[in-house]
Structure 1
Amino acid sequence: MITDYSIQAVAINAIPLIFAITVHEAAHGYAARRLGDNTAYLLGRVSLNPAKHIDPVGTILIPLTLLLTGSPFLVGYAKPVPVRFDKLKNPRIDSIWVALAGPGSNFIQALIWAILLITLFGLGVNEPFLVSMSQAGISWNLGLLVFNLFPLPPLDGGRILAGLLPARQSIALGKIEPWGFFIVLALVFTGVIGSFWMEPLIGFFKGVIYLITLPLQMLL
């Protein structure tokens, strides 16, 4: 049975998670459109409507499981935005920018949540729900940012790596894609990605956000 605390935790996490995933996917579609591919736009995927992006397993089941089992890292995914890389103006380079758009949007959202949290504390507002939601917003977005940067397709990091590799190696990497997500999930639930990838990189990005927000912290 889900406890009252768990219900509260789900409520606190739902809004930042939905925003994190929705904006992430919309950012991919927006970047693709700007760089020459209208596929996602024509399918209505360049949208902030969560219903367009929610995946029952990746957006609901996996995050809920991690949340209720007390996982130190919170990750999830949405329905991938379709991109026709051959329609991009410069497919090799532009595919990197399209892939970076999603994690980039999560970094910006984490920064916004951090600014909100600092502002709340600075103004002496100690409303538990808002404070907890801001903290969850930082955690979800940093988790999605770092998780999606893991260099294995179909994750964004795999797309970025494929764009940086020579053609032959890029093709070889692409052959892993049908099995890539199963490999990633196995690494997540065995703790390998958490210890050797997510923990150090989340710490790094927290440090970057701290430096960016330092003037605001000093002001408030």
Structure 2
Amino acid sequence: MPEFDLAVAFRGVAAGAIPVLFAITLHEVAHGWAARALGDRTAEMLGRLSLNPLRHVDPVGTVLVPLLVYVLSGFSFLFGWARPVPVNPRSLRWPKQGMVLVAAAGPAANLAMGACWAAIAIWSQRLLPESSGLAQFLFSAGQIGVLFNAILAVFNLIPLPPLDGGRVLRGLVPEAIGYYLDRIEPFGLIIILLLLWVGPVWPLLAPVIRSAQLLMFALAGAGGS
């Protein structure tokens, strides 16, 4: 059994903290920005459009869960969430269609951030000496940023409320079906956690997450060429 290296673990946590905080913060702020652009200023009035991560931190989802998952997975996997940004659909110019755009803004922000972290990972190797501590740190942070943003984007697109994918679906289906989605939403988080614990969710999501990572690196390469 390999010996536990505290220094390696600390560097891994440090390299992961920045991309994780950016990912969950900008994911939620993107919802708020989209809502404001469509007429709802609820998040703005509550100070939730700030890029200060402390305004969006959920003690369990932002701190405890990512740390435990990262350590228990052997520093190879991350997952977490922030406090949801409040949105009032009635204040949107087009309430039903507007909620589709607001919900989609979060995963779209993760895709863009993932491409930025992919660029950091790529250029840290091209511009800095390979043995440089800074190069290794930036490469690790970039890789973690790509992985976490891919996970967050793909997971949130699961078409089950209260996830973003569920809200997108709610805005696209007839009201008769939307009624049942509304009934499911209060229990959505419990259903999701049960599926994660006992169901084949991650094996199904893994190839999609991998494809999202490849897309992020492709976008980074296209932007850097």
Give 2:140's match in structure 1, choosing from 118, 132, 138.
Answer: 132
Q: Which 10-residue stretch deviates more, 23-32 or 207-216?
A: 207-216
Spell out the pairing of 1:51-200 with structure 2 (5 A cutoff): 51-70=54-73, 73-126=77-130, 127-190=135-198, 192-197=200-205, 199-200=206-207
Q: Percent identity?
A: 43
Counterpart secondary structure, 1:54: coil
Counterpart secondary structure, 2:80: coil
CA drift of 1:211 comes to: 3.1
Counterpart secondary structure, 1:136: helix
CA distance in 2, matches of 1:115, 1:11: 19
- In 2, are the aligned partners of 1:106 and 1:142 still within 8 Å (CA)? yes
- Pick closer, same or farther for the CA change 1:52–1:191 going to 2, 3 Å: same
Deviations 1:61-112 (A, max 9, x none): 1111110111754221111111001111001111000001111111100000
- In 1, are the aligned partners of 2:122 and 2:139 still within 8 Å (CA)? no
- Pick closer, same or farther for the CA change 1:108–1:215 going to 2, 3 Å: closer
CA drift of 1:193 comes to: 1.8
Unaligned runs of 5+ in 1: none
Could you say what the CA RMSD is over the residues aligned between the two structures, in angstroms?
1.9
CA distance in 2, matches of 1:9, 1:208: 24
TM-score by length of 1: 0.92
CA distance in 1, matches of 2:5, 2:29: 32
Give 1:37's match in structure 2, choosing from 37, 40, 43.
Answer: 40
- In 2, are the aligned partners of 1:110 and 1:142 still within 8 Å (CA)? yes
CA distance in 1, matches of 2:9, 2:87: 37
Unaligned runs of 5+ in 2: none
The number of aligned residues is 217
CA distance in 2, matches of 1:2, 1:191: 33
TM-score by length of 2: 0.90
- Pick closer, same or farther for the CA change 1:177–1:134 going to 2, 3 Å: same
Amino acid aligned to 1:196: L
Counterpart secondary structure, 1:75: coil
CA drift of 1:191 comes to: 5.6
CA drift of 1:12 comes to: 1.3
- Pick closer, same or farther for the CA change 1:97–1:216 going to 2, 3 Å: closer
